[in-house]
Structure 1
């Protein structure tokens, strides 16, 4: 089961190869090579609707379109250069988010989602941004799980990011914990149980990672 959960975070070979190519020196921000919409969507980890939104915002350069109705277009793909720019931006954000989580874990403190997202120019009220922050936090949880499982006390480092209202992580954190077998559904069936589980994870994170990271 654990292997299945981890595997879902790993992109397929074609997506990995495209990502590596886009981040290589072979592609510049002005490259106009055609990348099919489905492939571009996969490498960014977003839906087609989000891709269309980024095109309208001017963050992606569309390449080849079909007119469905007089005022409606369907894009076949995007230019590699603009896709590279967005991918690099996501990588910078991912690195910054992981830095902040590592720093919080080392200091034994926590941040709320809005603080983490505002720091990287993202908005909690944006569905694509919420999806992205949860993806990155899930990656972090899987990594810390692998680092601590052999010691017998699996730790989910993403617990240091909490909701400003509840003071504990959102549902995605607890779903991840259940998927990894760190807790059972019954352990998080109500708010009281969730708080207790989160406190255990937070204390464990301070114990395992306290003083391990410097800014």
Structure 2
């Protein structure tokens, strides 16, 4: 005979509670701690080098890492899991604050002495790529050169390079360029501002048959391996 819940309904008919009936909270805690560990290690490295880590930059990086994780799978952003996410973030930020506090001078510096400098966060998240084609990269003097293989069915390549001058806003779209059919490379100049590169291969009827979108690309992370995100096509 089926067990009944407090309201008289069979237990197997009740909706699943992700915070009780699954390993979701433990999975979130494990995954976020691994991601946040990058920022803890960076803060510790700066403190050991005699600098005061930038708490503002570290905090922004932790929040952004959490945001990228939650958008990886739709179920991760379920409202009932918000408390598990918040608990991991609180623990990470508390650990970062302890590292920053310990790196500060214990007493007020004497007149004429030089205070310990604040070293801004240099760790940058990796750029991401999504699409159905492979894109290779090679460092150049001012940025990187992208290269790809000519694909059957593509009669025209287009590319757009957009910049994100403010992390609180979306990318400002650049001009859409049409490349020669035989083109298989394109050079992009980079600096500290994130770039988004949209590369599309169009068929004769205008359909997009090949695409690759690289996001959050900067001069600081251009040499790092790109993180590939899932795509529906």
Q: Which has the higher strand share?
A: 2
Q: Which has the higher helix share?
A: 1
> Larger C-alpha radius of gyration, 1 or 2?
2
Provide the TM-score with structure 1 as the length reference: 0.28
